Amino acid sequence: MVNKIRKHIFDIRPSKIHGVGLFTVIPVAKDSIVFECQTEIKDNIFFPIHYLRTHGITNEQIKILQKWYAHTTTHIQIPKNFNPYALHIVSLMNHSPRSTLYYTNGKYYAKRNLKKNTELTLDYSHKNYHPIDFI
C-alpha cells in the first residue's frame, strides 16, 4: 500500500488557467508515468449530438458533456458505463500550448521534469492528447 501511495503525484486545486486543475504534489521526472487512462476506446460510444438532442438531452447538458468528454463538432464520446456522478480525471486538466503531459498507449507521461506544485496540462489541439481516435 505504501508504494501505491508514494506513486500518487497529483491533487485537485484552484487553477490560474481556468477553474480547477491537477497539480503535482511531488517533483516528477521527465517521461515518468503520471497516471493511466482507465477507459479504452472499445468501452465508449460515439453519440451524434443531434441524436442526443432528439432524445431530450438539453443544450446545457450537451455543453456539460463536451466539457467532460472528448468530442468533435458532431459527436461526443461517452463511456458505456456512464455515471453522471463521476468524472474522468482528464476532464479536470486545463489546456496549455506548453502542456506538461503527453499521452501514449493508455498512459499520460511528464513532457519534462516537473517541480512540485506544477499544473498538469494538455494541449487540446494536439491530435493525441486523449485516448481517442476522433471520427
- Quick one: pLDDT at residue 41? 55
Residue 89 is classified by DSSP as G
Degrees (nearest 5) of the Cα angle 32, 37, 38? 135
CA 80 to CA 97: how far, in whole Å? 31
**Domains of the chain, CATH where assigned:** 1-38+88-135 (2.170.270.10), 40-87 (no CATH)
- Quick one: pLDDT at residue 80? 78
- Quick one: pLDDT at residue 23? 93
Mean pLDDT (10-residue bins), the chain, 135 residues: 62 90 92 75 80 91 80 85 68 87 85 96 74 45
